[in-house]
Amino acid sequence: MKHIWCGGRDDLTNHIMKLFAWYVQRPYEKSGACVVLEGEEGCGKNIAFEILKNHVIGTRYCLETPKMKILTGRFNSAREHKILTVLNEAANAKQLKTKSPSRLASILIESESAVEDCIIEPTCMIEKKGIDPYRVRDCNNLIIASNNSYSVKASRQMRRFLYLLCK
């Protein structure tokens, strides 16, 4: 993690370790931050998540999905009771390239807003098929892993995101 995610930097490695400790020590509370990992396929973006999921937090409380809709769309019960979610390729570059420039901008803005809500909102609406929607406490923390730069529109003002270029 230190070398692949953090470029050998001790300060970033310590920050990530504190964030992971938060997930385990405070499963009832969101961290308010989202780690965004960008790097080539097979570079090790998901290794730490796999360890957390399979050996620390447990598969029951972790979710891995390429579909933002699973978190923000209708019939989103998969997100209920989760502590940690990894969005793999949340914004698929191939799909986005086929859209018109104005549609692309609309998709990115909508996605960015939905991601920020997932990071900071303390509750969310859960909707199951055939059952009225209901509000639950949301303790889910987000990690975004992507091979492309479309995943999050990063800027210096975005204090909720820790953007790491994996090598």
* pLDDT, tens digit (0-9, with 9 covering 90-100), for 123-135: 999 999 999 999 9
Query: How many C-beta atoms surround the C-beta of residue 167 within 10 A?
Result: 12
CA–CA dist 89, 53 (Å, integer): 18
CA–CA dist 140, 23 (Å, integer): 9
Q: Inform me whether the pLDDT recorded for 55 exceeds 90.
A: yes
pLDDT interval class at 92 (50, 70, 90)? very low
Domain residue ranges in the chain = 10-165
For position 93, what pLDDT does the model report? Answer: 46
For position 56, what pLDDT does the model report? Answer: 96
Spell out the residues 6+ positions from residue 78 whose beta carbon is closer than 8 angstroms to its own: 63, 65, 70
**Domain 10-165 in this protein, CATH class:** alpha beta
Across 39-43, 120-124, 147-151, which has the greatest mean pLDDT? Answer: 120-124
DSSP letter for each residue of 85-138 = EEEETSS-HHHHHTS-HHHHHHHHHHHHHHHHHHHH-SEEEE--TTS--EEEE-
**Contact yes or no for 160/116 (Cβ under 8 A):** yes
CA–CA dist 155, 15 (Å, integer): 19
The structure's pTM equals 0.84
The continuous run of DSSP H or E covering 22 comes out as: helix 10-25
Residue with tokens 């923390």: 141
Assign 3-state DSSP to the chain and report helix, strand, coil percentages, each to 5.
35, 20, 45
pLDDT interval class at 159 (50, 70, 90)? confident
